[in-house]
Amino acid sequence: MENIETRLLYKDWDSITKELHHKGFVIVRDVLNKKECDALINEYDAEQTYRKTISMARYRFGQGEYKYFQYPLPELITTMREKVYAEIAPVANQWMDELKMERKFPATHEEMKKLCREHGQEKPTVLILKYGIGGFNTLHQDLYGEIYFPMQMVFMLDQAEMDYTGGEFVITEQIPRAQSKANVLKPNRGDMVIFTTNFRPVKGTKGYYRVNMKHGVSPLHSGNRHSLGVIFHDGLS
């Protein structure tokens, strides 16, 4: 069985990055296998793995629960974070150029973490989320501090329409001087969604303009839904 590094190596990154640049999100199929998904779910109650647990209802974030991993991260997650970052950092820098923003992102994830540390952002922001019937996540952005990478990932750990119904992944776009657009995605177990953290550039008649984006999860109708959120920047707390 191929390991995660090999699976990522043989993905069509040219097509993936083109779609990511064009739409602000892309679904990459079959990144994690069932064994890896089940292992992440089964580790949900392992206390030593996580640094913080958040009840979403308490903070009016939605209905459900999530846990932040602590360093050192599991090897699987570290590998995905490093390998995917290296592939998509050029897209992030292209976005900065198109929007005439001064920020430039380093080529490697290790350098990205160093940049975060220089701004006091040292806490890992990788998290695992769990929803039951009626669970949902309000539209939001995962920034965590002054330094943030403009893209992030989520991995589906359960199979839609088999382990749960409802619970679609929703991405909204706030187009200037227009109504918001909603993108509703239904990735399968093991799929990776790469999507914008905050905004993306869109080409208009007078050059590129900024479209703000948020993401969330629609209410579950049945079952349980787990997902792994992988954010490339670290946080203040």
User: What pLDDT, on the 0 to 100 scale, is given for residue 47?
Assistant: 82
Count Cβ neighbours within 10 Å for each residue of 198-212 and write b for 16 or more, e otherwise: bbbbbeeeeeeebbe
Q: Are 53 and 170 in contact (CB under 8 A)?
A: no
218 DSSP assignment? P
Domain 4-231 superfamily per CATH: q2cbj1_9rhob like domain (2.60.120.620)
How is the chain split into domains, by residue range? 4-231
* Residues constituting the chain: 237
pTM (predicted TM-score): 0.96
What mean pLDDT comes out for the span 177-185? 90
In order, the DSSP letters of 130-170 are: EE-TT-EEEEE----SS---SEEEEEE-S-BTTTEEE--EE
Residue 24 CA, chain-centre distance (Å), reads 12
d(CA 25, CA 16): 9
Inform me whether the pLDDT recorded for 167 exceeds 70.
yes
User: What pLDDT, on the 0 to 100 scale, is given for residue 179?
Assistant: 85
Q: Which of 177, 173, 156 is nearest to 224 (CA)?
A: 156
* 3-state DSSP assignment of residue 46: coil
Please report which residue ranges of 24-74 form alpha helices under DSSP H. 34-42
Inform me whether the pLDDT recorded for 39 exceeds 80.
yes
Q: Sorting pLDDT into bands at 50, 70 and 90, what band is 176? A: confident
In order of 68, 87, 136, the CA distances from 63 in angstroms are: 17, 34, 5
Q: Are 229 and 126 in contact (CB under 8 A)?
A: yes
Burial label, 58 (beta-carbon count in 10 A; 0-12, 13-18, 19+): exposed
